[in-house]
């Protein structure tokens, strides 16, 4: 996957002006608890993106966030790319970018897809990333010629942190998280005088329900900031269709075409048939035959079960006897272990193209996600190297790729509470549908990877087919990759082309 493009991208003029020192001198909060001074690092750069010469500034630094009493409780770290060689007064779109988790920094989209430099791992998923040194290359396909980019690390991730009297409940929950990011966006467009420019959100994975909550929050609380578009990469607006557990019948259906795609990739099903045609047949079987069979359960005759199992085998590459013993319910974790069991290999969850030889050959599920393990180290090095060497960010504290503290304290209470506070899967699709009906210019791009066993592409189709969405406002795209489909070089290029067309 690694290629070296035009060398002028990200060449630093190094007119770096460090706005605040590493010492972070202390100031007092209202209740006497010390709040560190803000830090900011500004540098100027030149690049050539989409064959256009671009001068741009990068502002990497903290923004203070306050509670209802006006106390500073969090310092949110962001990295803003702002083009400077544009005619004064020109209206220019700005996109606010975040990943998911919850508890993940924006590292993945920053160093994997949208930044002026990206890290490269093996495109065909044939091996893991190993150890340093890794390859950081210029990214002439980034969108910076057309749109300014602001990468957001939510509180507790990246360099962002709780400060002063800040508490987990101030930021680590569905409602608190989206409120804080919406407030950051309000502050950013005010400081940079960008109120009348087009605004976009780009979110990956959990970043998609986050984007919905942020869009809702921006129109609430007497602010009313309307968005022009949302890009969802590996969307997860309704967890019902992306939660593969024993009694969730819907997930068996929404995951089925993804299992078919992975079986096709590894030569276990649909051989000689184009992937798109094979997946069309898989979708039809999942809805027209598999779903009714699951609904009937033990009311099916033995003959009917046998017929369904044989058809399933033709799509997902497992023996019909195994499927029958699974009562027609093949959980994704077991599929990952069973598909290549004769070779002693497991396939990845985030990206089913990846494989790994397992130590325990008879375990029911994989011991780890080989896809995640195969790329994480390269991305971790890339963000730290880039921050320090290119952006001259000199902070002594670590850059947290993901935060176990955020996950541990996360409040899963829904953005819009149900009346009786009954437990339910996260679901925000209807919130977005309502927002899109209030705003005729709010468009949605949903990008899905065929080999993603975390947020299956058929779940995106199922989610957007309901909730009153107007299809004229939605664009759906597909790629031969996984959750981070941009690991695949072909998907990387196509996704950026699709995003560029969507924003234009």
In a domain, 60, yes or no: yes
CATH number at residue 53: 3.40.50.1820
Number of domains in the chain: 2
Angle between helices 174-191 and 207-218 (to 10 degrees): 60
The pair of three-digit structure tokens given for residue 205, joined into one six-digit string: 């994975």
SS3 of 97-131: EECCCCCECCHHHHHHHHCCEEEECCCCCCCCCCC
In a domain, 4, yes or no: no
pLDDT of residue 367: 84
High-pLDDT (> 70) share of the chain, %? 93
What is the band of 420 on the pLDDT scale with cuts at 50, 70, 90? low
In a shared domain, residues 132 and 43 = yes
pLDDT of residue 419: 66
In a shared domain, residues 409 and 302 = no
In a shared domain, residues 449 and 384 = yes
Maximum Cα interatomic distance, the chain, rounded to a whole number of Å: 75
In a domain, 49, yes or no: yes
CA neighbor of 339 nearest in space, from 286, 245, 266:
266
In a domain, 130, yes or no: yes
Distance CA 186, CA 206 (A): 21
In a shared domain, residues 168 and 189 = yes
In a shared domain, residues 222 and 303 = no
114 vs 20, residue with greater confidence: 114
Domain around 85? 11-239+376-503
pLDDT of residue 2: 37
In a shared domain, residues 19 and 133 = yes
In a domain, 415, yes or no: yes
- Given a cut of 60, is residue 25 above it in pLDDT? no
pLDDT of residue 9: 32
In a shared domain, residues 342 and 442 = no
What is the band of 27 on the pLDDT scale with cuts at 50, 70, 90? very low
The pair of three-digit structure tokens given for residue 255, joined into one six-digit string: 């995951």
pLDDT of residue 304: 97
Summarised one tens digit per residue, pLDDT across range 180-201 is: 999 999 999 999 999 999 999 9
In a shared domain, residues 229 and 287 = no
The pair of three-digit structure tokens given for residue 301, joined into one six-digit string: 């005759």
Summarised one tens digit per residue, pLDDT across range 263-319 is: 999 999 999 999 999 999 999 999 999 999 999 999 999 999 999 999 999 999 999
Q: Can you give the C-alpha Rg of the chain in angstroms?
A: 23
Summarised one tens digit per residue, pLDDT across range 127-170 is: 999 999 999 999 999 999 999 999 999 999 999 999 999 999 99
The pair of three-digit structure tokens given for residue 336, joined into one six-digit string: 């990952």
The pair of three-digit structure tokens given for residue 23, joined into one six-digit string: 């010492």
Distance CA 47, CA 13 (A): 11
Cβ-based neighbours of 112, under 8 Å, separated by 6 or more: 118, 119, 379, 484, 486, 487
CA neighbor of 333 nearest in space, from 321, 318, 348:
348
Point out the domain boundary residue: 337, 368, 399.
368
pLDDT of residue 359: 87
In a shared domain, residues 235 and 257 = no
- Given a cut of 80, is residue 342 above it in pLDDT? yes
In a shared domain, residues 205 and 256 = no
Summarised one tens digit per residue, pLDDT across range 210-239 is: 999 999 999 987 889 999 999 999 999 999
- Given a cut of 90, is residue 26 above it in pLDDT? no
Point out the domain boundary residue: 340, 368, 396.
368
In a domain, 5, yes or no: no
Considering the entire predicted model, what is its pTM? Answer: 0.91
- Given a cut of 60, is residue 12 above it in pLDDT? no
Name the residue with tokens 């819907």: 250
- Given a cut of 80, is residue 11 above it in pLDDT? no
Indicate the average pLDDT of the chain. 91
Cβ-based neighbours of 316, under 8 Å, separated by 6 or more: 256, 259, 260, 263, 268, 269, 323, 330, 335, 339
Contact, 278 vs 264, CB < 8 A?
Answer: yes
- In degrees, rounded to 5, the angle at the alpha carbon of residue 212 between the alpha carbons of residues 421 and 204 is 115
CA neighbor of 265 nearest in space, from 140, 369, 125:
125
Distance CA 53, CA 51 (A): 7
Can you tell me the mean pLDDT for 48-63? 97
In a domain, 145, yes or no: yes
- In degrees, rounded to 5, the angle at the alpha carbon of residue 18 between the alpha carbons of residues 13 and 19 is 135
3-state helix, strand, coil in the chain (%, to 5): 35, 20, 40
In a shared domain, residues 119 and 193 = yes
Point out the domain boundary residue: 306, 335, 368.
368
Summarised one tens digit per residue, pLDDT across range 231-274 is: 999 999 999 999 999 989 999 999 999 999 999 999 999 999 99
Distance CA 258, CA 450 (A): 6
**Would you give the distance in Å from CA 352 to the centre of its chain?**
17
What is the band of 365 on the pLDDT scale with cuts at 50, 70, 90? confident
CA neighbor of 317 nearest in space, from 341, 353, 281:
341
High-pLDDT (> 90) share of the chain, %? 85
């Amino acid at each position: 996957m690694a290629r070296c493009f035009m060398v002028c991208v990200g060449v630093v003029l190094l007119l770096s002006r460090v706005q605040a020192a590493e010492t972070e001198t202390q100031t007092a909060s209202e209740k006497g608890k010390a709040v560190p001074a803000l830090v900011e690092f500004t540098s100027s750069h030149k690049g050539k993106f989409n064959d256009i010469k671009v001068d741009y500034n990068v502002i990497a630094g903290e923004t203070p966030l306050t509670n209802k009493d006006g106390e500073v409780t969090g310092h949110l770290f962001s990295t803003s790319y702002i083009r400077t060689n544009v005619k004064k007064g020109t209206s220019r779109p700005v996109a606010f970018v975040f990943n998911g988790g919850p508890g993940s920094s924006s590292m993945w989209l920053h160093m994997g897809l949208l930044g002026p430099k990206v890290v490269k791992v093996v495109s065909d998923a044939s091996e893991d990333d190993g150890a340093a040194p890794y390859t950081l290359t210029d990214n002439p396909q980034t969108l910076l010629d057309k749109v300014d980019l602001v990468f957001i690390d939510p509180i507790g991730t990246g360099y962002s942190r709780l400060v002063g009297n800040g508490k987990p409940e101030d930021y680590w929950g569905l409602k608190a998280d989206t409120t804080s990011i919406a407030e950051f966006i309000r502050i950013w467009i005010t400081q940079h005088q960008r109120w009348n420019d087009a605004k976009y959100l780009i979110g990956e994975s959990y970043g998609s329900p986050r984007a919905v909550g942020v869009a809702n929050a921006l129109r609430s609380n007497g602010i009313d900031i309307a968005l022009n578009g949302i890009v969802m990469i590996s969307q997860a607006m309704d967890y019902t269709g992306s939660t593969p557990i024993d009694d969730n019948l819907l997930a068996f259906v929404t995951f089925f075409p993804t299992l078919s795609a992975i079986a096709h990739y590894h030569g276990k099903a649909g051989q000689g048939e184009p992937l798109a045609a094979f997946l069309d047949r898989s979708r039809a079987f999942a809805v027209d035959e598999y779903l009714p069979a699951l609904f009937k359960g033990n009311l099916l005759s033995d003959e009917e079960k046998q017929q369904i199992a044989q058809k399933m085998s033709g799509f997902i590459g497992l023996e019909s006897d195994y499927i029958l013993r699974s009562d027609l319910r093949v959980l994704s974790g077991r599929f990952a272990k069973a598909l290549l069991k004769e070779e002693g290999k497991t396939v990845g969850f985030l990206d089913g193209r990846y494989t790994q030889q397992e130590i325990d050959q008879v375990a029911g599920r994989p011991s780890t996600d080989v896809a995640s393990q195969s790329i994480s180290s390269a991305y971790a090095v890339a963000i730290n190297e880039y921050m320090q060497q290119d952006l001259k960010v000199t902070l002594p504290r670590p850059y947290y790729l993901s935060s176990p503290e955020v996950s541990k304290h996360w409040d899963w209470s829904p953005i819009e509470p149900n009346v009786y506070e009954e437990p339910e899967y996260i679901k925000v699709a209807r919130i977005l549908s309502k927002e899109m009906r209030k705003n005729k210019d709010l468009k949605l791009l949903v990008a899905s990877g065929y080999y993603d066993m975390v947020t299956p592409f058929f779940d995106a189709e199922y989610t957007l087919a309901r909730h009153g969405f107007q299809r004229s406002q939605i664009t759906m795209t597909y790629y031969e990759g996984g959750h981070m489909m941009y690991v695949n070089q072909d998907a990387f290029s196509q996704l950026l082309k699709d995003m560029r067309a969507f924003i234009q």
